[in-house]
Chains A and B, each alone.
Chain A
Amino acid sequence: MAARIQIPREARRGEVIEVRILIQHPMETGYRHDDVGHLIRRNVINVLSCRYNGVEVFRADLSSGISANPYVQFYTVAEASGDLEFTWIDDEGERGSERQSIVVKG
């Protein structure tokens, strides 16, 4: 599962930073039928979590109402240099992860 993360490369200590993530995923709703009438099983990313130097700073429980290729944006406070690590898991148990580092000055 491909994903894109966007955070500032550098920030001042205490600065509020914008975090954006875009994950490639079909987010199959579970309400659709295929060409021969069989229900297509639900397969959505159900948990998306972001850890900043090991501490969870954001968590979202996604469901059928979220469009394909979900885009999530939130804010956090730059406290120390290190990594923001995203992990997610879908209904079929497939896991994805992506990380990006940030340098915090001052």
Chain B
Amino acid sequence: MGLTPRPEHRVVEYDPSSQEGWVATRLDFLVNWGRANSLWPMPFGTACCAIEFMATAASRFDLARFGMERMSFSPRQADVLICAGRVPFKLAPVIRRIWQQMAQPKWAISMGACASSGGMFDNYAVVQGIDTIIPVDVYVPGCPPRPEGLMYGIMMLQEKVKRERMNDETLRNEMEPDPNSQLWIPAPTIDELSEPFGNSVHQTRSGL
């Protein structure tokens, strides 16, 4: 990534031919600028990738430069789920539930070969890529990725966030869990469980 110059950021631009108003595009720009520079990560570290993630967060590589120094160990206050490491099948319902508990808007980074594809663990116990469980925005290759690699993935996610449009219908189209599955919890139960600290059911900000 160092040798070729990266393309200019294509942030939200005003297109006079579109039906959108100028104010809406400016609001998009402002909101996205704020979101992209204050992504709170939910670290889901299960293996050696988590060590590299900790190195990224520590002083030498300094994740605080991206507004990410605040690790959110509660999914309810997190913006981006960083899955660092392999996910065994026994952990699959756990990461699914964590993802469901995160409030919109939310993104996911799959860090490393194991989280992205199962990696070398092509066996009976390991999920072959967390995108079979949750939607993933950025895949970071590597085994484990260097901190520079993770930072590059984070910057790619920031670019993605900066290009989001309020009027994009598909943007916050969240897959709802099947009410017949054991994973599904009715909203009143979630309310009761999460007292007195609020919950994600009432924090959904779909659309914006």
A binds B: no
Q: Give chain B's interface residues, CB within 8 Å of chain A.
A: none
Q: Give chain A's interface residues, CB within 8 Å of chain B.
A: none
